């Protein structure tokens, strides 16, 4: 990376105060920045740290007269810096287009222009891979699956048969999409497998973390809406539907046929029971277990999940239990 501050302005916008010709060779946090780095501060509370920083330039919310460094003034420094790091990441992790000779590509597969397919990738029959898609080594893409333009599939991902992934999707290492849903029928004390013949449909701008499993539907489709973000180690069971722009933090566990609305926030290690409906804009606190449907806009926490104000009162009482016990003992 080597850009002048003027060039960075052309990428993220804003107004330059000071020397726009200063050369920037890296991005860093305000604490770790060294000569050549650009960093950012969100508000005035970070000015003391900015004064001590060794960064060569800063993205700021307003011009700081006492800061004797070139500054790029923007309305939202955090967002502007995120745009810059996105640009840096694309440059740093860019893979050249082309198909590695060790990849195994079906003659019936269609690979778009500018795609990059790594070593030991297996692409099955009737697969369609869009333009500028990047597929890292040791990935399997099953028969009839489709991957949209500009998506990135990292190493060791398994995408089973007839899965659809939209544009600009990111799937991180070791995730599995389209494995069989956990469907069994009890027959004379034995577990008889119910074949899972549905599929998975993933929208545009979805990011799926590492070690995530998204099961295919029994008959129809498991649906992940546009803009959904799923953190590492999460599990999405068969026939689940997740609405646009929902976010699932690590270890989220969504049981079969649950319906998750739009813009729902699910914190770490949450479990949601099968067939539950979670309305739009709900927030579910970490470690909760949701055993029934939630109305839109609900904010819940606990196991079982309940309105967060109620759970907070319960937690206060639990901390007081030793004191309450001692008081009761005195009257026995």
Q: What is the pLDDT of residue 289?
A: 97
pTM value is 0.89
Q: What is the pLDDT of residue 116?
A: 97
Q: Are 35 and 57 in contact (CB under 8 A)?
A: no
**Catalytic site residue from 61, 235, 238, 331:** 238
Instruction: Compute CA 248 distance to the chain's CA centroid, rounded to the nearest angstrom.
Output: 8
Q: Which CATH class is domain 99-309?
A: mainly beta
Q: What is the pLDDT of residue 325?
A: 86
191 counts as catalytic: no
10-residue block means of pLDDT along the chain (332 residues)? 91 92 93 93 90 93 91 93 90 90 97 97 98 98 98 98 98 98 93 95 98 96 98 98 98 97 98 98 97 97 94 90 87 76
Distances from the Cα of 262 to the Cα of 20, 31, 201, angstroms = 42, 37, 16
CATH number, domain 3-92: 3.40.1390.10
In a 10 Å sphere around its CB, with 0-12 CB exposed, 13-18 middle and 19+ buried, how is residue 161 labelled? Answer: middle
Q: Are 123 and 142 in contact (CB under 8 A)?
A: no
**Domain boundaries of the chain, sorted by first residue:** 3-92, 99-309
Map tokens 């990011």 to a residue.
Answer: 207
- In angstroms, rounded to a whole number, what is the distance separating the alpha carbons of residues 37 and 79? 18
- The DSSP annotation for 214-273 comes to EEPPSSSEEEE-TT-EE-TT-EE-TT-EE-TT-EE-TT-EE-TT-EE-TT-EE-TT-EE-
Q: Are 174 and 157 in contact (CB under 8 A)?
A: yes
303's enclosing H/E stretch is none
Q: What is the pLDDT of residue 108?
A: 96
In a 10 Å sphere around its CB, with 0-12 CB exposed, 13-18 middle and 19+ buried, how is residue 184 labelled? Answer: exposed
């Amino acid at each position: 990376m080597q850009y002048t501050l003027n060039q960075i302005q052309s990428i993220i916008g804003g107004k330059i105060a000071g020397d726009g010709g200063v050369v920037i060779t890296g991005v860093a946090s305000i604490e770790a920045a060294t000569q050549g780095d650009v960093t950012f501060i969100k508000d005035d509370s970070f000015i003391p740290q900015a004064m001590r920083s060794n960064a060569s330039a800063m993205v700021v919310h307003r011009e700081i007269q006492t800061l004797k460094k070139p500054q790029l003034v923007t309305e939202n420094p955090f967002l502007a810096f995120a745009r810059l790091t996105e640009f840096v990441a694309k440059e740093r992790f860019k893979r050249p287009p082309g198909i590695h000779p060790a990849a195994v590509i079906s003659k019936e597969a269609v690979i778009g222009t500018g795609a990059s397919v790594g070593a030991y990738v297996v692409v099955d029959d009737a697969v369609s891979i869009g333009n500028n898609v990047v597929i890292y080594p040791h990935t399997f893409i099953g028969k009839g699956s489709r991957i949209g333009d500009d998506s990135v599939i990292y190493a060791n991902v398994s995408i089973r048969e007839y899965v659809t992934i939209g544009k600009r999707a990111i799937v991180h290492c070791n995730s599995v999409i389209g494995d069989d849903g956990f469907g069994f029928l009890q027959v004379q004390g034995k577990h008889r497998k119910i074949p899972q013949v549905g599929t998975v449909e993933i929208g545009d701008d979805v990011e799926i973390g590492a070690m995530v499993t998204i099961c295919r539907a029994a008959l129809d489709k498991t649906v992940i809406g546009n803009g959904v973000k799923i953190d590492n180690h999460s599990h999405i069971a068969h026939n689940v539907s997740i609405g646009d722009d929902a976010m699932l933090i690590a270890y989220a566990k969504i049981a079969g046929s649950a319906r998750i609305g739009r813009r729902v926030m699910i914190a770490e290690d949450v479990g949601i029971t099968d067939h539950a409906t979670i309305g739009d804009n709900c927030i579910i606190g970490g470690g909760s277990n949701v055993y029934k449907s939630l109305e839109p806009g609900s904010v819940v926490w606990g196991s079982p999940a309940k309105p967060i104000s109620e759970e907070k009162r319960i937690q206060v009482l639990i901390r007081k239990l030793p004191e309450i016990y001692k008081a009761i003992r005195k009257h026995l």
